[in-house]
């Protein structure tokens, strides 16, 4: 296995693989995955975009992660901003790296891939804070939750519903640098 840094063009060149990993990891329907293709492609043009990928010896994609500098006018950023109390907006969103996606194929989970991807992304992020959203799940049984807690992420919003998704999400954050 090897961890590689990707530019936007690299991610776009492997977009089919990225969407496949995303679908496997999140359990999303084929219809939803088709709409996500456009969003992911658009994200590669955002300010301070950075991505990582984990490839096996045959160059198969085992996992990926990416994010960028969050700013007003971006859908996720504005949803979170509107839900935060005024005194928390400047701290969390003033200079924020939004960790948009971090996924590992289910069969490859449990081998430190997600941790390596997260560490690489966060050590390269020049912003003062990082935010992410993840579906609510029991921390004791969720690998994602345990990973985020190990990295020092704290609750920013809990049981938050994003428009278009019935599941409750948590928004987690931490200060940077690591």
Q: Annotated active-site positions, please?
A: 148
Map tokens 């991505």 to a residue.
51
CB environment 62-86: b (16+ within 10 A), e (fewer): bbbbbbbbbeeebebbebbbeebee
CA dist 119 and 20 (Å) reads 23
Q: What contacts 137, CB < 8 A, 6 or more positions away?
A: 144, 145
How many other C-beta atoms are found inside a 10 Å radius of the C-beta of residue 58? 5
CA dist 102 and 95 (Å) reads 20
What separation, in Å, do the N-terminal and C-terminal C-alpha atoms of the chain show?
Answer: 24
Q: What contacts 33, CB < 8 A, 6 or more positions away?
A: 19, 22, 23
């Amino acid at each position: 296995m090897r961890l590689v840094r990707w530019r936007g063009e690299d991610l776009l060149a492997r977009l089919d693989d990225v969407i496949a990993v995303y679908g496997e990891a999140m359990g999303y329907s084929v219809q939803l995955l088709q709409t996500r293709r456009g969003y992911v492609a658009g994200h590669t043009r955002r300010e301070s975009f950075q991505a990582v990928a984990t490839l096996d010896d045959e160059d198969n994609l085992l996992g990926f992660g990416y994010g960028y500098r969050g700013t007003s006018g971006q859908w996720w950023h504005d949803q979170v901003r509107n839900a935060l109390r005024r005194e928390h907006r400047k701290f969390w969103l003033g200079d924020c790296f939004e960790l948009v996606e971090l996924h590992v194929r289910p069969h490859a989970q449990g081998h430190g891939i997600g941790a390596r991807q997260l560490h690489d992304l966060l050590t390269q992020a020049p912003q003062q804070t990082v935010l992410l959203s993840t579906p609510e799940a029991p921390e004791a049984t969720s690998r994602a939750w345990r990973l985020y807690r190990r990295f020092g992420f704290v609750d920013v919003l809990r049981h938050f519903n994003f428009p278009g998704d019935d599941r409750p999400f948590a928004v987690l954050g931490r200060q940077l640098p690591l």
